[in-house]
Amino acid sequence: MVGAAVPPSLRRRRRDASRVARGLGSLACPVGVGLMMWTMMRGQRSGNNAAGAGSASPVRGGDQSSQVAALRTEIEQLKADRAARPVSGG
């Protein structure tokens, strides 16, 4: 069967299968992005925020007021250091 001609019906099937494969391939990216967005939104609603997983635990009660006081003191100290520094011309 060397050199045998391919019947037109088989050519049509191959062409149609090729079009379907290309169509499915072009939909793979948008569908994947949509699924990713959906799973990320589900995670945020349930309180499992992946971005906050590595951050420090929230400060509670008296710790918060002492931390705020320490930060205010540090800000005042930085402002004083900045005011004492000579202004350099550019």
The pLDDT tens digits of the residues spanning 59-86 come to 566 788 999 999 999 999 999 999 998 8
**Per-residue pLDDT tens for 37-57?**
999 998 887 765 445 554 455
CA dist 50 and 44 (Å) reads 8
pLDDT for the residue numbered 36: 93
Two tokens, residue 48: 């499992």
CA dist 26 and 17 (Å) reads 14
pLDDT for the residue numbered 56: 55
Two tokens, residue 89: 């011309």
> Are 68 and 60 contacting, i.e. CB atoms less than 8 angstroms apart?
no
